[in-house]
Amino acid sequence: MKTKNGVYLLLFALVACDNTEKTLHINGSTMGTKYHISLVKQKQSPKISRDRLKQQIDQIFQQINQQMSTYLADSEISKFNRYNQTNWFPVSKDFAHVVNTALKISKQTHGAFDISVAPFIDLWGFGAKTQYEIPSSQQIKQLFPQVGFQHIHVKNNPAALKKDNIKLHIDLSAIAKGFAVDKISVYLENKGWENYLVEIGGEVRAKGINAAKKKWKIAIEQPDLKQKKANHIISISNKAVATSGDYRNYYIKDGIRYSHTIDPKTGFPVKHKLASVTVLNDSTMLADAYATALMVMGEVKGKAFAQKNKLQVNMIIRDKKNKFSRWSNLPN
């Protein structure tokens, strides 16, 4: 949503209207969320109707969903998850590319990012079936053979995946939206659009300038659902932004707060003070995955990892009194 000052609020508020004379807006639904695209009109802009452009964009989303949506029974990922053999399973090049990227980030983050963590998420009640019952240590221990990025393998020619354990399932929800943003962005650039903003469920990529001939402004949300406001505003051009937080999906049991962010190494929800982390990167797919990994690491390990790997991040840290402080190495 765009505020009075032309600021796009990340996560809770989506892209709304600019000056319609200068900006073309395309909105819709995909990947279980909403997407919003703003295209700045120029003399050299492609001559295409909004409806036709939306149709072409929706076709790309449909293709990505058919590859990576666990909600579609006939998608590539659903078929792979049901595959009860350990030999190679043919997939599309894009699907293999996303999984391969995920595995690289898993190795780099020493398992903080793991696309096979779904069994733990389901066990804690954050999956398709909400149970909100605290699992026992024994229940968690029994799932470890089904979890682990090191048990997933990819080859590119021909594109295929295989798994060491037939019970292993993968979920790309922490990286697929970022990939989709990049895919749509490349499509728009190939069509000749020079200034745009693409947003899917809070993951953003912007190129060039907005209709006011300034950088695109993105507001990072204060991680407090009681009051929707910006914690910090950044200006971006030719960059991608992704945010991960612990304040939208959690439950409280016997006075203890359980976050949906699960540490793949322990099988338990994370316990640290990091409320949200925003990553600035050239790639939305990488920003998406790194944001999730840093949320698993927490504020101390996350800062160290960001500094070591020269990641540009903004962290919002919650204290015991639910007050927030900010740590950032984003450019001014």
Residue range(s) defining the domain that contains residue 154:
73-163
Question: Is residue 216 pLDDT above 80, yes or no?
Answer: yes
The string of pLDDT tens digits covering residues 54-99 is: 999 999 999 999 999 999 999 999 999 999 999 999 999 999 999 9
More confident residue, 278 or 5: 278
Confidence of residue 322 (pLDDT cuts 50, 70, 90): confident
**What is the pLDDT at residue 225?**
61
Give the pLDDT band (50/70/90) at residue 215: very high
Is 77 part of a structural domain of the chain?
A: yes
Q: What average pLDDT does the segment 226-230 reach?
A: 73
- 53 is a domain residue: no
Is residue 18's pLDDT more than 60?
no
Q: Record the tokens describing residue 103, joined without a space.
A: 């595995």
**Burial of 160 per CB tally in 10 Å (0-12, 13-18, 19+):** middle
The DSSP bridge pattern shows strands 216-221 and 7-10 to be parallel
Is 295 part of any domain?
no
In a domain, 80, yes or no: yes
> In this structure, what CATH number is given to the domain that contains residue 126?
1.10.3980.10
How many domains are contained in the chain? Answer: 1
The predicted-structure confidence for 97-108, as pLDDT tens digits, reads as follows 999 999 999 999
Q: Please tell me the predicted confidence (pLDDT) of residue 93.
A: 98
Residue 26: pLDDT band with limits 50, 70, 90 = very high
In this structure, of 14-23, 47-56, 271-280, 318-327, the range with the lowest mean pLDDT score is 14-23
Least Cα distance to 95 among 172, 182, 173 occurs for 172
Selected residue with higher pLDDT from 196 and 271: 196
Could you tell me if residue 272 is inside a domain?
no
DSSP state letters, 126-184:
-SSS----PPPHHHHHHHGGG--GGGEEEEETTEEEEESSTT-----TTTHHHHHHHHH
Position 105 in a domain: yes
- Whether 148 maps to a domain, the answer reads yes
Give whichever of 148-152, 220-224, 241-245 has the largest mean pLDDT. 148-152
Q: Band of the pLDDT at 186, cuts 50, 70, 90?
A: very high
Q: Is residue 42 part of a domain?
A: no
Helical ranges in 152-283 per DSSP H:
176-191
271: pLDDT strictly greater than 70? yes
Q: Indicate the pLDDT class of residue 1, thresholds 50, 70 and 90.
A: very low
